[in-house]
């Protein structure tokens, strides 16, 4: 297929490239190829949708097509994890320019399938359209399997705040890439493909978590959502965060700022953070603070953090 | 808000514009505003996703923002109807340029909500991102409520072929709009906002339909999918189609072609077409042919139809 362009193939031929030989889990009654897919769930359905746009959420000179496919699936499935649900299937809507190389398309599809395997979900359908720019929307269908969903609004005074997964790796990677570098490799790779802690949403639910969210806007911003929804104050201890070596290296190389900023404000790693009754934090999770009575805000070492924007907004002039 | 641009508002402010006061059905346990929505279904889940791209699927000088919002929802819910499922919720992913007027955005949201009301589904979530071009992806979550899904592959020799809804109205409207006209108004309105026969998918299932599809690519193309999936020949009778007056008028005004072409090849009205055991066609459905043994093809009056492309493909060079 080398060198061929999307416009040279028909829509159905392209869809066949994605769906040929597609495996499916035992909860998938009908996969891709009919008007709709059909899934059999054990409990309530959790559903979330997530869009990635070329040159807004990814750049083709920074990320391979495989990376982009993996990231699109990972970011979306993380939202289901954050409800304590188990991802069952995803549908992927892809818009691409007609002059795009077919190789990009097939590598993207391979990335989607790889990450579906990692996350334990099935690719069950999608749509393919032409656009001036690559736009990818993934929707995850997840199964609460008889459990109650974990909300943002359930945090209670006295809870411990804990996270699982990586914080600030993608942000450190973005800082490096933005300045034209490609190392430290570990953070660059993390920016290209997040590694959400698949399965830990259910672990949190089974441990009795009171609230949960995935870190997509940055820890402070996302804990701010829990604080607002639960009407509580969240207090973090900076000493509880372990700064990884590559984050130290990036901060030093790029001007000596405090590398904690990456962990507190960086999104896109899709860690899970939540609040637990004291003593109920699962193993593998790191306690970084507590829930207290007070105004709906997030404090670090007892004070409002004073470094720049606390999160990522796509619109607005603040950024 | 008059004259304000999307980029002047924050992402969360914009989302609040869509979701404020949003009603929800009794199967919606959690609506927009958390990491995922949560729905309670009575049976298996049917899910389908559908993208509309500016200047590919709609033009802002032809369609109002309200029209676009309505069409995006209608086209997607029709896919759930085609499985014999009942739409419960939709999630809407919207990508827009920062310079778009906020008024377009709020009118689009109003159209989405209007069509959700028409279809009896709840808007339960979405995503909002920046892009160079407007791209809308709607995903429908539908409930089979204990019934088996209606597949493309179930057609049986001896079945009657019948449709419900409108055929070729949107295509006649497109023909008019493409030539710079705005009348007959009925077909132009149909091009802007389809009217899928909501509820008739379930009616077909309850009547014992063997196969069903929604007409999005054109009747011949979509029946071709049934013929291929079921390995049967489908035979249509041209005399069974009633050509509406505005379709006659458009064909006459635009050069005297056979107006039946609109009905046989026009998509985007999202009629339902399926096959039924003899005598089981529900009232309100029109019988237009039969299922026979033979190669997987669609014949009209015993012959392969000989007018141009039988459907709509987004890629490929034929069109």
Residues 64-123 of B with CB under 8 A from A: 79-80, 82-83, 85, 89, 91-93, 95, 98
pLDDT tens profile B76-91: 999 999 999 999 999 9
Q: Which of A41, A79, A91 sits opposite B139 (nearest CB)?
A: A91
**In the structure, what pLDDT confidence band is assigned to residue A179 with cuts at 50, 70 and 90?**
very high
Please compute the mean of the pLDDT values over residues B51-73 and round it to a whole number: 96
pLDDT reported for residue A41: 98
The C-alpha angle A196, A302, A227, rounded to 5 degrees, equals 50
pLDDT > 70 in chain B, percent: 95
Return the CATH number of B6-143, one of 3.30.1330.10, 3.40.190.80, 3.50.50.60, 3.40.50.720: 3.30.1330.10
Domain residue ranges in chain A:
6-143, 152-300
pLDDT reported for residue B76: 97
pLDDT tens profile B185-195: 999 999 999 99
As its CATH architecture, domain B152-300 has Alpha-Beta Complex (3.90)
Q: Does B10 touch chain A (CB under 8 A)?
A: yes
d(C-alpha B27, C-alpha B46), whole Å:
15
pLDDT reported for residue B317: 33
Please compute the mean of the pLDDT values over residues A27-42 and round it to a whole number: 94
Given a cut of 50, whether residue B311 has pLDDT beyond it is no
Q: Does B213 touch chain A (CB under 8 A)?
A: yes
pLDDT reported for residue A53: 98
d(C-alpha B172, C-alpha B169), whole Å:
5
Contact A124/B47, CB-based, under 8 Å? yes
pLDDT > 90 in chain B, percent: 84
pLDDT tens profile A237-268: 999 999 999 999 999 988 767 889 999 999 89
Q: Does A152 touch chain B (CB under 8 A)?
A: yes
Contact B141/A47, CB-based, under 8 Å? yes
A110, A66 Cβ separation under 8 angstroms = yes
pLDDT reported for residue B255: 79
Please compute the mean of the pLDDT values over residues B155-168 and round it to a whole number: 98
**In the structure, what pLDDT confidence band is assigned to residue A308 with cuts at 50, 70 and 90?**
low
Q: Which of A315, A318, A319 to mutate to test the interface with B (most CBs of B within 10 A)?
A: A315
pLDDT reported for residue B79: 97
pLDDT tens profile A111-140: 999 999 999 999 999 999 999 999 999 999
Question: Which residues from A are below 8 Å from B129, CB to CB?
Answer: 51-53, 56-57, 314
Closest chain A CA to residue B140: A36
**In the structure, what pLDDT confidence band is assigned to residue B7 with cuts at 50, 70 and 90?**
confident
Q: Tokens for B126, please give them.
A: 């979405």
Question: Which residues from A are below 8 Å from B212, CB to CB?
Answer: 35
Q: Does B155 touch chain A (CB under 8 A)?
A: no
- Which pTM value belongs to this model? 0.94
Contact A11/B45, CB-based, under 8 Å? no
Given a cut of 50, whether residue B314 has pLDDT beyond it is no
Given a cut of 50, whether residue A165 has pLDDT beyond it is yes
Look up tokens 């290209």; give the residue.
A192
Sign of CA dihedral B33, B1, B117, B59: negative
pLDDT tens profile B288-300: 999 999 999 999 9
Question: Residue by residue, what is the 3-state secondary structure of chain B?
Answer: CCCCEHHHCCHHHHHHHHHCCCCCCCCEEECECECCEEECCCCCEEEEEEEEEECCCECCCCCCHHHHHHHHHHHHHHHHHCCCCEEEEEEEEEEECCCCEHHHHHHHHHHHHHHHHHHCCEEEEEEEEECCCCEEEEEEEEECCCCCCCCHHHCCCCCEEEEECCCCHHHHHHHHHHCCCCCCHHHHHHHHCCCCCCCHHHHHHHHCCCEEEECCCCHHHHHHHHHHHHCCEEEECHHHCCCCHHHHHHHHHCCCCCCHHHHHHCCCCCCEEEEECCCCCCCCCEEEEEEECCCCCEEECCECCCCCCCCCCCCCCCC
Decide: helix, strand or coil at residue A54: strand
Kindly report the average pLDDT of chain A as a whole number.
92
pLDDT reported for residue B312: 40
CA–CA distances in Å: residue B177 to residues A274, B190, B218: 54, 11, 19
B237, B288 Cβ separation under 8 angstroms = yes
Given a cut of 80, whether residue B95 has pLDDT beyond it is yes
Q: Does B137 touch chain A (CB under 8 A)?
A: yes
Question: Which residues from A are below 8 Å from B91, CB to CB?
Answer: 47-49, 139
pLDDT > 90 in chain A, percent: 84
């Amino acid at each position: 297929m080398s060198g061929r362009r999307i416009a040279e193939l028909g829509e159905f031929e392209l869809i066949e490239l994605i769906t040929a030989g597609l495996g499916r889990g035992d909860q998938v009654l009908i996969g891709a190829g009919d008007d709709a897919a059909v899934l059999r769930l054990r409990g309530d359905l959790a559903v979330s949708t997530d869009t990635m746009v070329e040159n807004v959420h990814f750049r083709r000179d920074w990320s391979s097509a495989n990376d982009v496919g993996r990231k699109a699936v990972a970011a979306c499935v993380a939202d289901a994890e954050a409800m304590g649900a188990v991802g069952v299937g995803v549908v992927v809507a892809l818009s691409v320019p007609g002059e795009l190389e077919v190789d990009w398309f097939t590598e993207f599809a391979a990335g989607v399938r790889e990450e579906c395997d990692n996350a334990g979900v099935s690719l069950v359908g999608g749509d393919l359209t032409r656009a001036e720019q690559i736009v990818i929307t993934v929707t995850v269908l997840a199964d609460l399997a008889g459990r109650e969903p974990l909300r943002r609004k359930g945090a209670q005074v006295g809870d411990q705040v804990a996270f699982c997964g990586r914080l600030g790796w993608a942000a450190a990677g973005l800082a490096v890439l933005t300045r034209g570098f490609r190392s430290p490799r570990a953070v660059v790779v993390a920016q290209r493909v997040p590694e959400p802690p698949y399965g830990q949403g259910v672990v949190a639910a089974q441990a009795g978590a009171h609230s949960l969210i995935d870190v997509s806007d940055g820890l402070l911003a996302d804990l701010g959502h829990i604080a607002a929804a639960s009407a509580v104050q969240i207090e973090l201890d900076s000493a509880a965060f372990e700064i990884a070596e590559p984050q130290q290296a990036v901060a030093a190389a790029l001007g000596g700022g405090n590398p904690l900023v990456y962990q507190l404000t960086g999104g896109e790693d899709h860690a899970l953070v939540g609040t637990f009754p004291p003593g109920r934090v699962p193993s593998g999770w790191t306690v970084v603070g507590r829930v207290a009575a007070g105004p709906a805000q997030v404090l670090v070492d007892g004070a409002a953090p004073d470094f720049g924007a606390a999160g990522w907004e796509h619109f607005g002039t603040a950024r």
